[in-house]
Amino acid sequence: MNCSQTRKLLSAYVDGELFGREAADVAAHVEACPSCQLEFHDLTLVKDMVGRLPQVPAPSSLYMGVMARLQETAAVSAESRQEHAFGAGPARATSRRPAWLRYWKTGVAAAAVAAFTFAWGMKLLPSPPPLVADGGNSTVPPEQTLPGIVQPPEESNPAPEPDTVASEPVTEPSGPIGTNPTVNPGDAPNVPVTNEPDVTPPAGDPPAEDAPDAEEPDFGSRFGTAGAELPGGDRLVAKTMHVALTAADAEAFAVSLADLAAAYGATMEPGDDSAIRLRVPINDFMSFIDSVRQLGVPDTFKSLKNTETDVTEAVRNLTAERDYLQKAFADGDESVQEDLQMKEARLAEYFRDIEHLTIEITVNSLGS
């Protein structure tokens, strides 16, 4: 047994999870090989360090909490059984689901959105699309590039066509719908505006991808060379914008919103507390927001807060992990296949968050 065969089995050996021939072979090799011996000691030490973490006592409120929940739930389910027996109203479980979700699940939008997401996720890793179509300041937040400027979607993006918006007279996404100061995310107090608008990307014409960087192939090709010029370096940021508005009819609003989202190639899913979460390609979000605003009752649109999450570290770790697993898989270790696929899917999810602006819309209905 050579070093690399031994190394793969060392953790299992440390755990006493090797048996028979395998155990004997590893033991013999470790005995004879100083470097594997050191590795064995290291792994043993790591195991000890983790194992020596103290037990944190369970709080007494845990038991109480569980028992209270059991009693509560038992009471509720008895009640709902009774309701059912007398035919008094719908089951509780379904009544909490927002109306728009039912539409969305069955609607045309769903298919378009799913296809978009799927295709995008699949091609993401081998040949990623440019982060944004400006080829340069890829991680410059939209708030920085677009204060006060409404950008119509560019030709390279699925152009929203008013015709596709069924029977709702309110959507005119591609028109320059003026900048309402209350809508402009650049006005939000917690978003620093550090760049001048002169970094506004030229329309269309994304430059060809550079050849992969020698040192960090995936990372480098993905984020280009211009990232280094940014303040803060290669910072990857996922942005979420929380907005609220009032709609005359929440369900009709959701239907229009689903159409609008489909026209923009945005994804739509349930958010927190019956909010609607959308991911909009970052270049189009200003005109998208404006269109959303007009779907609601006038002057009820509020930008609540913007949040930014730096995911640089997470993506870096995940990329390294993916590369490691890829190599292991290429070397014939099939046990890592499942994990490899998982990492790739997770990376795709991160990039989706980076390349889109997430908008959480809380809809208040006039009717309720």
Partner 1 sequence: MAESELVQRSRDGDQEAFGQLVLRYEQKVFNLAYRFTGNADDAQDLAQEAFVKAFFSLADFRGQAAFGTWLHRIVSNLCLDELRRRRRHHVISLDEAVATDEGEMERQVASNDDTPAEAVERRETQSRVQAAIATLDEEFRLALILCDIEGYSYNEIAHIMECPLNTVRSRIHRARKLLKERLQDRELFAPAVVKRLEGRESR
Q: Given the rule CB under 8 A, which residues bind partner 1? A: 8, 10-12, 14-15, 17, 38, 41-43, 45-47, 49-59, 61-63, 65-67, 69-71, 73-74, 238, 240, 272, 307, 309, 311, 317-318, 321, 324, 328, 333-336, 338-339, 342-343, 346, 349, 353
Least distance (Å) from partner 1 to the CB of residue 102? 21
Shortest spacing between CB 41 and partner 1, in angstroms: 6
- DSSP SS3 for 164: helix
Q: Closer to partner 1 at the Cβ: 168 or 349?
A: 349
Length reported for the chain: 368
Q: Residue 53 or residue 211: which is nearer to partner 1 going by CB?
A: 53
**C-beta of 331: minimal distance to partner 1 in Å?**
12
Q: Which is nearer to partner 1, 182 or 317 (CB)?
A: 317
Rounded to a whole number of angstroms, the minimum distance from the CB of residue 362 to partner 1 is 15
- Between CA 133 and CA 59 the distance in angstroms is 52
Query: Closer to partner 1 at the Cβ: 12 or 170?
Result: 12
Nearer of residues 70 and 199 to partner 1, judged by Cβ: 70
CA–CA gap between residue 253 and residue 255 (Å, rounded): 5
CA gap 296, 252 in Å, rounded:
10
Amino acid identity of residue 266, one-letter, is A
Task: Please list, in sequence order, all residues whose beta carbon lies within 8 angstroms of the beta carbon of residue 340, skipping any fewer than 6 positions away.
Answer: 322, 325, 326, 329
Nearest distance, CB of residue 317 and partner 1, angstroms: 7
Distance CA(262)–CA(109), nearest Å, equals 6
What is the C-alpha separation between 183 and 298, in angstroms, rounded? 12
Give the C-alpha separation, 48 to 28, whole Å: 23
Nearer residue to partner 1 within complex by CB, 244 or 311: 311
CB distance 302 to 182 below 8 Å: yes
* Among 267, 254, 264, 107, CA closest to 168: 254
Which CB sits closer to partner 1, 44 or 174?
44
Name the phi and psi angles at 139, rounded to 5. -100, 10
